[in-house]
Amino acid sequence: MIRTRFAPSPTGYMHIGNLRTALYEFLIAKSQGGKFILRIEDTDQARYVEGATDIIYKTLEMSGITHDEGPDVGGDYGPYVQSERKNDYIEYAKQLIEKGEAYYCFCTKERLESLRSEVNGESITHYDRHCLHLSKEEIENNLKNGVPFVIRQKIKDGTTTFHDEVYGDITVDNSEMEDQILIKADGYPTYNFANVIDDHLMNITHVVRGSEYLSSTPKYNLLYEAFGWEIPTYIHLPAVMKDQHNKLSKRNGDASFQDLVAKGYLPKAIINYIALLGWSPSVNQEIFTMDELIKIFDIKGLSKSPAIFDIVKLTWMNGEYIKMMPFDEFYEKAEPYLKESVRSGVDLKMLAGFIQTRIGTFRDIAEMVDFVDTLPEYSVDLYTHKKMKTNPEIAVSSLKLSIPFLKEIEEWTNENLYAKLVELAQANEMKNGQILWPVRTALSGKPTSPCGATELCVLLGKEETIKRLEKGLAMLEG
């Protein structure tokens, strides 16, 4: 059975690249009847953020990415938190020492700093294997006297070749690799060591991660070989970029999943969008439910090329999801935004019906409805509309006709108002738009509005409608 794992560090909010990795791991497992495991990698205690683990749980829940095993749901391969497995890592590191595949390193921080050199303006440290040559007596004496130590992997000579499902066969000269630290001075394992041990003990069959880990993979494979363990299938993913030159990064303040949700994006739309960041489906389709993604997902569709996060495309997709929402569900989500922006007592459900097909995110609501309470200051240039064949001069005639005409109408419904204003236009040998556009402009004071002229009349009510039309006429004449 295929078993994949998502192993985030609890260091803050979930950024888009991490969430995409979790999604692909989930889809790879579920598309082939496998299991998806959540493991919390909290061995970097210096970067640990209180509450970050709860954020991970909440993000996966909101995203519809359900794990079969993990710290909160249990399973047969626990514990699923690395800090709770601390003693296991030290024992495995000692096994490597016994095999001659690792060694104790007692070098001080000062000595390691002295090894630094400058290459092209960058500080480079390549460990010189000083402690590899310590005698057994020196090692035992240091351990007995409590001299601080780390445990380093001994990289063997030669080359290491591995296969990746996305990038193909890759060969690395082992001389390019440093004897990496496996166990730190605080007794905690490094990420590079702990994930190998955990992946083996949890029977992980497919390791999915960012392409930045390609260079570390040979080190992992040497560890697997040293233990005599089976090497998993590797799937390295291209980076998610903010533009052609810069990766998305939460450290640089780029949007996290939580940021996007707070800005009015729907979790389902975010998941749908990031599924297509580096993966091409075999069908000509862009909108997918999670069940559809599970059914159609194939590793062969993964790309080697970096994917650029396009907020405009995400906003479009989010708008499509908003359009597809049942109205009651849409109104429930839109109501807080509407109440925050509109206090004039208009029918909010009516207003919600006007805006549902016109917004990209729920945050767009405020700007779209800001005219309802207070007519904004606007230029008479808005009365010019080539398609409607109108301009300020025509608008003067239009409003002079419309104001007294509307004052006499009793049945204040959209259908009746539209029919009457069309009749007014025809009676005066005018195009429909030459009446409707000036009315719409005078009522909203905006170049675009969430609905047509007569719908605005109904929304605002007869008294406010006449008041705004008279103000518009005064502006045009004065």
Residue 313 banded pLDDT, cuts 50, 70, 90: very high
Q: Is the pLDDT of residue 123 over 60?
A: no
CB-neighbour burial class of residue 251 (10 A; exposed 0-12, middle 13-18, buried 19+): exposed
Residue 220 banded pLDDT, cuts 50, 70, 90: very high
Q: Which of 9-13, 139-143, 279-283, 410-414 shows the lowest mean pLDDT across its residues?
A: 9-13
Mean pLDDT value across residues 360-381: 95
pLDDT of residue 191: 87
How far apart, in whole angstroms, are the C-alpha atoms of residue 433 and residue 389? 7
pLDDT of residue 251: 61
CB 200 within 8 A of CB 227: yes
pLDDT of residue 423: 96
Percent pLDDT > 70 in the chain is: 96
For the entire predicted model, the pTM comes to: 0.88
Would you give the distance in Å from CA 207 to the centre of its chain?
21
Distant-in-sequence contacts of 211-214, Cβ < 8 A, 24+ apart: 211/166, 211/167, 211/236, 211/237, 211/238, 211/239, 212/239, 214/164, 214/167, 214/170
Mean pLDDT value across residues 191-207: 95
pLDDT of residue 253: 59
Q: Which of 46-60, 117-131, 205-219, 382-396 shows the lowest mean pLDDT across its residues?
A: 117-131
Mean pLDDT value across residues 44-51: 77
Active site residues: 250
Q: Which of 79-83, 320-324, 355-359 shows the lowest mean pLDDT across its residues?
A: 79-83
Q: By C-alpha distance, which of 369, 379, 364 is closest to 341?
A: 369
Cis peptide before 10 (omega within 30 of 0): no
How far apart, in whole angstroms, are the C-alpha atoms of residue 353 and residue 330? 9
Torsion of CA 311, 314, 318, 319, to 10 degrees: 70
Mean pLDDT value across residues 152-169: 96
Q: Is the pLDDT of residue 121 over 60?
A: no
Mean pLDDT value across residues 301-329: 96
For the domain spanning 380-477, the CATH number is 1.10.10.350
**Amino acid identity, residue 231?**
I
How far apart, in whole angstroms, are the C-alpha atoms of residue 453 and residue 277? 41
Q: 37-52 in b/e burial notation, b at 16+ Cβ within 10 A?
A: bbbbbbbeeeeeeeeb
> What count of residues does the chain have?
478
CATH (one of 3.40.1130.10, 3.50.50.60, 3.20.20.140, 3.40.50.620) for 82-237: 3.40.50.620
The rounded mean pLDDT for the chain is 93
pLDDT of residue 87: 86
How far apart, in whole angstroms, are the C-alpha atoms of residue 95 and residue 88? 11
How far apart, in whole angstroms, are the C-alpha atoms of residue 30 and residue 16? 21
How far apart, in whole angstroms, are the C-alpha atoms of residue 80 and residue 204? 13
pLDDT in tens, 102-113: 999 999 998 988
Identical fold between 82-237 and 380-477: no
Q: Is the pLDDT of residue 122 over 60?
A: no
Q: Is the pLDDT of residue 47 over 90?
A: no
Q: By C-alpha distance, which of 423, 425, 359 is closest to 394?
A: 425
Q: Is the pLDDT of residue 403 over 70?
A: yes
CB-neighbour burial class of residue 161 (10 A; exposed 0-12, middle 13-18, buried 19+): exposed
Domain ranges for the chain? 82-237, 380-477
CB 245 within 8 A of CB 43: no
Residue by residue, DSSP assigns 110-141 as: HHHHHT-EEETTEEE-----GGGG--HHHHHH
Residue by residue, DSSP assigns 318-365 as: HHHHHHHS-HHHHHHHHHHHHHHH--S---HHHHHHHHTTT-SSTTHH
pLDDT of residue 42: 86
How far apart, in whole angstroms, are the C-alpha atoms of residue 454 and residue 423? 13
